[in-house]
Amino acid sequence: MDKLFFAAVSSTAPVATGYVNGNPTDGDPTTGVGATEPGAYWFYMITMELLNLISGAGITFNGAVLTQVFAAVQAIANTAAAAAQSAAISAATSLAAAARTGAVSDVVALFTGSNASYTANGWQVLPGGGIRNWTSQAVVGAANTTVTVTYAKPFTTFSAIPVPSVVDPARSGDESNFLGLSVVSYSLTGCVIAMGQNGGGARNVTLGTLCDGK
């Protein structure tokens, strides 16, 4: 499409002076009402509207091509669709990233803050309501000794049998030097561990326990 007319064209664009806003009519000869006359400005107005649509879509005017208005509308629609898709993908990506960050934060929160105490005598609340307690306490002169262990976070409904262990760096290599450990009793709040000396004499050790419950 282009500004093509058969004859009587001007290099100067017409102006809207003298035009009135209204609806076209065929006129009525019997009453002396004339038919509507579009005028040069009307042709110019319609032509420029269409040409601006074409150029706005990045298409060069061509009077020999009669599908440029359709191509312009299609191009603008495709551009808008692509922009909308890009915006939707960007928004979805941002939301997904935020959701992942939130999910990670939620998981981390399950194992930190008020849900845990990472100390020598600490505890961890597990997802689902489980609790894990661990203890570490020095035992002086361990030899046929009974040690009472108190959990930092008491269980409320269930305690598994605790697992005792001992750090005894002064004795190694000979089984007669090892300290035997046994669970005498256990409850929701702690346990009693018996340390039986097998040999090597009394010495200072560190007793540890690990217990799960709820």
- CATH architecture, domain 117-213: Sandwich (2.60)
pTM: predicted TM-score of the whole model, two decimal places: 0.51
Give the Cα separation of 14 and 178 in Å (integer). Answer: 111
Taking only the tens place, the pLDDT of each residue in 181-205 is 999 999 999 999 998 876 666 788 8
Instruction: Give dist(CA 204, CA 198) in Å, integer.
Output: 15
Half-sphere exposure of 108 (CA within 13 A, CB side): 6
200 with 212: CB under 8 angstroms?
no
Per residue in 114-160, pLDDT (tens digit) is 889 999 999 999 888 899 999 999 998 887 889 999 999 999 999 99
Cα distance between residue 112 and residue 166, in whole Å: 27
Give residue-wise pLDDT tens across range 88-107.
Answer: 898 888 888 878 877 777 77
**Where along the chain do the CATH 2.60.40.3940 domains lie?**
117-213
Distance between CA 130 and CA 195 in Å, rounded?
29
